[in-house]
A and B are shown apart, each in its own frame.
Chain A
Amino acid sequence: EDQVTQSPEALRLQEGESSSLNCSYTVSGLRGLFWYRQDPGKGPEFLFTLYSAGEEKEKERLKATLTKKESFLHITAPKPEDSATYLCAVPYHGGSQGNLIFGKGTKLSVKP
């Protein structure tokens, strides 16, 4: 069964304190791993797509990396505005192209 597990469930950081979020997956024939950011009361917003082990993508203070079994979202010197829930997702194995299975997310809080 395809699964996506995110850890930790919640993370509290002080402003400027760098850390990483983890997304592990068990799917055959990975067709990409996707990161989204969700603010309270809003829909998720697309951040990154990673397709192959070793690939990295960056956006401001965020950097996503991918291995054969997991992905990390590194947050460097975070600011309070980085507070949000971060979701990762992978395509269903064998499913119709375009369907994603989402992890439960990591809720990040950055205190000033």
Chain B
Amino acid sequence: DADVTQTPRNRITKTGKRIMLECSQTKGHDRMYWYRQDPGLGLRLIYYSFDVKDINKGEISDGYSVSRQAQAKFSLSLESAIPNQTALYFCATSDRGTGGYGYTFGSGTRLTVV
């Protein structure tokens, strides 16, 4: 099994729908992140969490929300999806013990909003 698992791998949804992307990890890491990747724009941070009770906005949090259900689970929600949220979404984890920067990424969720 992968260290960081994202579900679903691919999703097509309609404008205005609510959608949740899920991430679970078996690394035992305390920190979890959501990034989105767009062609020509690179990876941009949406939200991050350093422990279960800690949630922080990243660079592009508008239109998104997150929930850290447990140390191993971090979900990303789009309350009302819009076409410009079409992107590749990545969950990542890191360990404070290594300075917090050696990320382990999931395989990504390709989201298309039509």
From 79 to 112 in chain A, residues with beta carbon under 8 angstroms from any chain B beta carbon are 87, 89, 91, 96-105
CB–CB A43/B108 < 8 A: yes
- How far, in whole Å, are A21 and B26 apart by their CA atoms in the complex? 33
Contact indicator A98/B108 (Cβ below 8 Å) = no
Chain B, range 57-95, C-beta contacts under 8 Å to A: 58, 90, 92, 94
A54, CB-defined interface residue at 8 Å: no
- In the assembled complex, A45 has its CB within 8 A of some CB on chain B: yes
Q: Is the CB of A98 within 8 A of B101?
A: yes
B41: A residues at CB distance < 8 A: 104
A32 and B92 within 8 A (CB) = no
Q: Which of A45, A98, A102 contacts B43, CB < 8 Å?
A: A102
Residue tally, chain A, CB below 8 Å to B: 24
* CB closest residue in chain B, given A105: B42
Q: How far is the CB of B61 from chain A (nearest CB, A)?
A: 13
- Residues from chain A with a CB closer than 8 A to the CB of B112 are none
**Bound-state Cα–Cα, A72 to B63, Å:** 37
Among B31, B33, B99, B104, max chain A CB count under 10 A is at B99
Contact for A99 among B42, B48, B102, B107, CB less than 8 A: B48
Query: Please, which residues of chain B bring their CB within 8 A of the CB of A104?
Result: 40-42
A24 within 8 A of B: no
**Chain A positions within 8 Å of B100 at CB level:** 97-98
B residues in contact (CB < 8 Å) with A: 4, 31, 33, 35, 40-45, 48, 50, 56, 58, 90, 92, 94, 96, 99-108
Using CB atoms and an 8 Å cutoff, list the residues of chain A in contact with chain B: 31-32, 34, 36, 41-46, 49, 87, 89, 91, 96-105
